[in-house]
């Protein structure tokens, strides 16, 4: 059996000089140079959502590499997989008389809100603890807090159909899935993990830290974020725990939320990635992690407090340590020919992978040294009290369902005038695509303060009735 069956088939077809009287319209020729490898579901090419041939073989190869009960390819990123995995958990839940509710950490990507709108479910939120390092992007979940939330919901007669976590988060925080999964299972609730940033965790030197290996029931990976895969390539993994949907149900869920014309360029990159993961890529990952560990140590010695603790492939710099906002720090790094993944009012996030060259580490080291030697005076816009986070939790009162808000008529207003209005579509850029106010919630003063802090100037709200 081929290690890369999709890529092998497409290359063979491209070399066959066959007359292409099928889609796509470029007919295998064009200015990009990749058109010859861009196909549709012709004979022998299999079909993503009814896979029985080369795609099924490739997915089976990837499932073996990840040690899952099953792995399915997606070509529309983790957004597609998030919707599918929530759907599968909802489909498996016992029928009840009350509205289905999901228990989720508050730093969820807005794709979860769109899933909630499409599936018409409610979300109960786990909130981040207050503290000087609190951030929109982070929501560490303590096992005791999760246990209390599950018990409280059960006592109120609202047992969730699943628990949903984001791990790793945009600032490199990793949830203690090994401790949280057994708590979920003890309550008869499956654990879903948005592992968009952590596909590589399976292949770390010293052992896997992938959510599936730590007890998650369903998990999505954005393969393109950390593995050698084209943008849009993703995995939906099924674990060995309490939630084991039929393979046909998984394909049906992915089809429900995906295009019927998946990109064969992305499928080939997922296929070729499996070949790389079975080859020398894990060794290259180990080398990259070691290099980045050394860089983190150097920068921590250069300026205490500059490096925020994070997952192995992220370098997160605290601009406050050098008197700069994260955005200003990003500008300084661009002057050193370094483009970041994400910057906000405080933090700068840099994502590394084995494809980075030694010069990339040197440029980051030089840019950081410049920031330390020439500290700025342009840190975050005004002080943000740690009390704003518990205030946000108190004030975020649902006025209607997420579905009602997302599909309602909407108007955009200045964020400073949003207090007392009901949030419609979440207003947030991607990255990080994490809403401050959730669709259907009444916007309180704490949310308005966070809009200001994160530079959000307008928000989408439901119009008031005349």
Both 254 and 320 in one domain: the answer is: no
Domain boundary among 260, 292, 309: 260
Rounded (5°) CA angle 336-339-344: 110
Cα separation, 225 vs 227, in Å, equals: 6
Is residue 445 domain-resident? yes
13 located within any domain: no
3-class secondary structure, 194 = strand
**What is the helix (H) or strand (E) element at residue 461, kind and residue range?**
strand 458-461
Given phi > 0 = left and psi -120 to 50 = alpha, else beta, which region is 17?
Answer: left
Count of beta carbons in the 10 Å neighbourhood of residue 361: 18
Question: Confidence band (pLDDT; 50, 70, 90) for 37?
Answer: very high
Is it the case that residue 402 has pLDDT exceeding 60? yes
Are 293 and 425 in the same domain? no
- Any idea what the CATH number is for the domain that residue 408 is in? 3.90.100.10
- Shared domain check, 309 and 412: no
Using the predicted structure, report yes or no on whether residue 315 has a pLDDT greater than 60.
yes
Residue numbers of the domain that contains 335? 281-373
Both 400 and 335 in one domain: the answer is no
Work out how many domains the chain is built from and give that number.
3
Convert 22-83 into a string of H (helix), E (strand) and C (coil). CCCCCCCCCCCCCHHHCCCCCCCCCCHHHCCCHHHHHHHHHHHHHCCCEEEEECCHHHHHHH
168 and 105 co-located in one domain:
yes
Q: Which of 373, 403, 427 is a domain's end point?
A: 373
Q: At residue 379, does pLDDT exceed 70?
A: no
Nearest to 403 by CA among 96, 77, 99, 93: 99
Q: Are 315 and 307 in contact (CB under 8 A)?
A: yes
Q: Confirm whether 54 is domain-assigned.
A: no
Please report whether residue 207 resides in a domain. yes
Residues 310 and 429 in one domain: no
Q: Are residues 310 and 395 both part of a single domain? A: no
Statement to judge: residues 78 and 208 lie in one domain: yes
Q: Tens digit of pLDDT for each residue in 321-376?
A: 999 999 999 999 999 999 999 999 999 999 999 999 999 999 999 999 999 998 87
Whether 126 maps to a domain, the answer reads yes
Residues 160 and 292 in one domain: no
316 assigned to some structural domain: yes
Q: Does residue 161 lie within any of the structural domains?
A: yes
> Across residues 181-188, what is the average pLDDT?
97
Residues 140 and 216 in one domain: yes
Q: Does 129 share its domain with 240? A: yes
Q: Which pTM does this prediction carry?
A: 0.95
| 265 domain-assigned | no
Q: Say if residue 163 is in the same domain as residue 305.
A: no
């Amino acid at each position: 059996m081929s290690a890369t069956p999709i890529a092998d088939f497409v290359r063979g077809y491209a070399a066959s000089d066959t007359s292409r009287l099928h889609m796509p319209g470029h007919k295998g020729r064009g200015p990009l140079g990749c058109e010859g490898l861009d196909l549709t579901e012709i004979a022998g090419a299999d079909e993503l959502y009814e896979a029985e041939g080369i795609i099924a073989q490739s997915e089976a190869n990837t499932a073996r590499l990840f040690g899952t009960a099953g792995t399915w390819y997606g070509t529309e990123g983790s957004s597609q997989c998030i919707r599918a995995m929530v759907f599968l958990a909802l489909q498996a839940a016992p029928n009840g008389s009350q509205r289905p509710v999901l228990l989720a950490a508050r730093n969820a990507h807005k794709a979860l809100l769109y899933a909630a709108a499409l599936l018409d479910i409610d979300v109960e939120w786990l909130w981040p603890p207050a503290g000087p390092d609190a951030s929109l992007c982070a929501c560490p979940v303590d096992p005791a807090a999760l246990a209390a939330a599950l018990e409280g919901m059960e006592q109120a007669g609202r047992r969730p159909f699943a628990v949903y976590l984001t791990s790793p988060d945009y600032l490199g925080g990793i949830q203690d899935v090994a401790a949280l999964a057994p708590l979920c299972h003890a309550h008869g609730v499956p654990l879903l993990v948005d592992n968009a940033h952590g596909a590589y965790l399976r292949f770390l030197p010293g052992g896997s830290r992938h959510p599936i290996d730590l007890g998650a029931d369903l998990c999505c990976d954005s393969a393109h974020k950390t593995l050698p895969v084209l943008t849009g390539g993703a995995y939906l993994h099924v674990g060995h725990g309490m939630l084991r949907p039929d393979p046909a149900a998984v394909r049906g869920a992915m089809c429900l939320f995906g295009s019927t014309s998946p990109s064969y360029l992305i499928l080939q990159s997922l296929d070729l990635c499996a070949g790389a993961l079975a080859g020398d890529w894990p060794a290259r990952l180990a080398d990259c992690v070691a290099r980045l560990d050394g860089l983190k140590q150097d920068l921590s010695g250069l300026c205490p407090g500059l490096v925020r603790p994070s997952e192995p492939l992220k370098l997160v710099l605290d601009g406050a340590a050098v008197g700069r906002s994260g955005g200003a720090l990003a500008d300084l790094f661009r002057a050193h020919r370094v483009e970041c993944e994400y910057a906000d009012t405080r933090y700068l996030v840099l994502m590394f992978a084995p494809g980075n060259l030694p010069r990339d580490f040197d440029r980051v080291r030089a840019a950081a040294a410049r920031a330390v030697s020439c500290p700025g005076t342009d840190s975050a816009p005004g002080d943000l009290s740690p009390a704003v986070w518990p205030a946000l939790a108190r004030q975020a009162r649902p006025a209607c369902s997420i579905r009602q808000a997302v599909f309602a008529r909407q108007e955009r207003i200045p964020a400073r005038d949003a207090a007392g209005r009901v949030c419609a579509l979440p207003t947030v850029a991607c990255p990080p695509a994490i809403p401050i106010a959730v669709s259907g919630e009444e916007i309180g003063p704490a949310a308005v303060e966070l809009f200001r802090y994160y530079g959000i100037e307008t928000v989408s709200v439901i119009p008031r009735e005349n």
